[in-house]
Amino acid sequence: MTLYWRIFLLNAAVFAVAVLLLLGPVTVSTPVLLGEAIVLGLGLAAMLVANAVLLRVALAPLARLARAMASVDLLRPGSRAPVEGPGEMAELTTSFNAMLARLEAERATSSARALSAQEAERRRIAQELHDEVGQTLTAVLLQLKHTADRAPGPLREELHQVQETTRASLDEIRRIARRLRPGVLEELGLHSALRALAAEFSTPSLIVRHRIAPGLPTLDEARELVVYRVAQEALTNAARHARASEVEVRLSHRPAGAVRLLVRDNGAGLGPAAEGAGIQGMRERALLIGAGLALDPAPHGGTDVRLDVPADGGTRRREAHR
């Protein structure tokens, strides 16, 4: 039975009962007596209450479906509306679930293309920074040294300061290039890359510790890159936004051969603000490999970023310096 006929028959039943009562024990005089008016008023109230209750029961599956639609988040896939209700209500819920599955698949595909293009662009920019800008600054440093060696005393000191500034700029460009294209990840593997990442973010005001369990399951290149990028983004958030003084990067075993990355800081915590582009980027990367990403308050303040990566059963090169 369609929703239209269900509502129509419910209202028809209420009106039929009212007519039967008027034909039976309830009568109306002209003019209407006080007692008859009270009975009619009570009957009208009873009709409205009965109609409201019956309609609420009939439309309850539609209200639950609307709440499920409002809570959908494509960055947290897997949630589906329960299929309930008769006829077209069940069909509507089934169609919504099918549409949601298609949207999740299309978003995963488009995100994979976008992130692949982003990684390719990062590699290109890193290569240009290293080959073009880096070599140019190296040549400038050599020329400054040559000029400083021949310059008089006061000018030589100024040229030395320019040399130090240029050398600092060259170091910063190399650091940016390493972040854009993690060469240590490609050459030495995930474990060494995480250690290098922890060392890179360590400063006098930020202590970054790393703890990597021995004998972890092997991950393919795509999973390794996602783990590295999530750790990099979590460390960036802890250093720039959370005002943390200590961060721990932990890579450990999980059941069924899975691997967990945990980045725990003692900073300001998540707060009420909406998730930014960095956290959404982490969620999209996690979706690409079927990993679970969770951001929760840390036990003693701060934030826990957890990435649970399923095992792929693949093989790859041995980790260096395990």
**Phi, psi (5° rounding) for residue 73?**
-135, 115
What is the reported pLDDT for 315?
Answer: 37
Residue 43 inside a domain? The answer is: yes
Q: Do 196 and 302 lie in a common domain?
A: yes
CB 249 within 8 A of CB 209: yes
CB 86 within 8 A of CB 1: yes
Q: Do 238 and 286 lie in a common domain?
A: yes
Q: Do 227 and 299 lie in a common domain?
A: yes
What is the reported pLDDT for 58?
Answer: 73
What is the reported pLDDT for 301?
Answer: 83
What is the reported pLDDT for 210?
Answer: 92
CB 302 within 8 A of CB 242: yes
| Burial class of residue 70 (count of CB atoms within 10 Å of its CB; 0-12, 13-18, 19+) | exposed
Q: Do 138 and 45 lie in a common domain?
A: no
Q: Do 188 and 271 lie in a common domain?
A: yes
Residue 128 inside a domain? The answer is: yes
- For residue 177, give both structure tokens: 């290039």
What is the reported pLDDT for 51?
Answer: 74
What is the reported pLDDT for 211?
Answer: 92
CB 321 within 8 A of CB 191: yes
Q: How many residues does the chain have?
A: 322
Please report, for the domain that includes residue 247, its CATH number. 3.30.565.10
Residue 322 inside a domain? The answer is: no
- List strands edge to edge, sheet with 303-309: 207-212, 246-253, 259-265, 303-309, 292-297
Q: Do 189 and 170 lie in a common domain?
A: no
Q: Rounded to whole angstroms, how far apart are CA atoms 236 and 246?
A: 13
Strands 259-265 and 292-297: unpaired
- Per the structure, the count of domains in the chain is 3
Strands 303-309 and 259-265: antiparallel
Q: Do 209 and 293 lie in a common domain?
A: yes
Q: Do 203 and 232 lie in a common domain?
A: yes
**For residue 14, what are the domain limits?**
3-71+80-103
Half-sphere CA count of 126, side-chain side, radius 13 A: 16
DSSP-assigned states of every residue in 57-113: HHHHHHHHHHHHHHT--TTSTT------SSTHHHHHHHHHHHHHHHHHHHHHHHHHH
Q: Do 120 and 67 lie in a common domain?
A: no
Residue 143 inside a domain? The answer is: yes
Task: Print pLDDT tens along the chain (322 aa).
Answer: 666 677 777 777 777 777 676 666 656 666 767 776 787 777 778 777 877 777 777 777 787 888 888 877 776 777 788 887 777 778 888 888 888 888 878 877 777 777 777 777 877 887 787 778 888 888 888 888 888 888 887 788 888 888 888 888 888 888 787 777 777 787 788 898 899 889 888 988 899 999 998 888 888 888 888 899 899 899 988 888 888 899 999 999 888 778 999 999 988 887 776 777 788 888 888 888 888 899 998 888 889 999 999 876 443 333 333 3
Q: Rounded to whole angstroms, how far apart are CA atoms 57 and 64?
A: 11
Q: Do 59 and 170 lie in a common domain?
A: no
